[in-house]
Amino acid sequence: MNSRKVVYLFFTTLIIGSVSGAIVGFAFDYEMYLSGGAANLIVGVIWLLGMSAAFSLISQMGFFAYLTVHRFGLGLFKSHKLWNYVQIVLIAFVLFDLFYFRYIAFAEPGETMFGYMIIPVLLLVYGLVIAYLKARGTNQSAFIPALFFIVVVTTIEWVPALTVNDTKWLWLYFTPLIVGNTWQLLILHRLSGQPAS
């Protein structure tokens, strides 16, 4: 992949992540942004775009880190099959931790685990859909790595927001991450010219 395509990937991910995060952030607090006049709205939107751009950059760092880890894993385990099993175990571990540790940290007396299982289940379903699209666009061996990236890497990138039980911050942080990660994953093979099989 040449430098022009790398620059394209960087800026498109930055723009898509920034805009998506700004839209979600605006939706959560639209009354606040609309109540103070045009200047308040402009400054608020700029702030949302800036925050979302920062989260989008985290998404890009996570993506390139995963590409390195994936190559390392393939070299270490000497087999796609074994590396895929390791990734499946890590996916299960992260999904369990995603609901269990949040339940332990934030559950009110009498609150059940069910509410804390919604996010991991939705993330898994979304990851399965994106992994299917990636595998269909490239080859079947891309399914588990794509699922791992969407579930595990996105969760790791999301950890700072997960430590605060604030719905607005959870989604303001998550949206640029998941949108950026999805875009990078689904566009990479087109940019690199990897054929489907």
Taking 80 as the threshold, does the pLDDT of residue 195 lie above it? no
How many C-beta atoms surround the C-beta of residue 56 within 10 A?
Answer: 28
pLDDT > 90: percent of the chain: 64
Taking 50 as the threshold, does the pLDDT of residue 197 lie above it? no
Q: Which two tokens stand for residue 74?
A: 């393939």
Taking 70 as the threshold, does the pLDDT of residue 62 lie above it? yes
User: Does the residue 197 lie in any domain?
Assistant: no
- Report phi then psi at 108, rounded to 5: -80, 160
Domain count, the chain: 1
List, as own/partner pairs, every contact residues 190-193 make where C-beta atoms lie below 8 angstroms and the sequence separation is at least 24, other chains included. Answer: 190/137, 191/1, 191/5, 191/8, 191/9, 192/1, 192/5
Taking 80 as the threshold, does the pLDDT of residue 56 lie above it? yes
What's the number of CA atoms in the CB half-sphere (13 Å) around residue 31?
0
The pLDDT of residue 34: 85
**Entry pTM:** 0.91
The pLDDT of residue 37: 83
Residue 125's domain comprises: 3-192
pLDDT, average across residues 112-129: 93
Q: What is the pLDDT of residues 71-82, one digit of tens each?
A: 999 898 888 899
User: Does the residue 126 lie in any domain?
Assistant: yes
- The string of DSSP codes covering 85-104 is HHHHHHHHHHHHHHHHHHHH
The pLDDT of residue 14: 96
Residue 170 in contact with residue 161, Cβ under 8 Å? yes
C-alpha–C-alpha distance, residues 69 and 71, integer Å: 5
Position 153: which residue type? V
pLDDT, average across residues 9-32: 93
Interaxial angle between packed helices 80-106 and 154-162, expressed in degrees from 0 to 180 and rounded to the nearest 10: 10
pLDDT, average across residues 34-49: 89
Q: Which two tokens stand for residue 15?
A: 């723009």
Taking 50 as the threshold, does the pLDDT of residue 95 lie above it? yes
User: Does the residue 154 lie in any domain?
Assistant: yes
pLDDT, average across residues 101-114: 86
pLDDT, average across residues 40-55: 93
Taking 60 as the threshold, does the pLDDT of residue 126 lie above it? yes
Taking 70 as the threshold, does the pLDDT of residue 196 lie above it? no
pLDDT, average across residues 139-153: 95
User: Does the residue 124 lie in any domain?
Assistant: yes
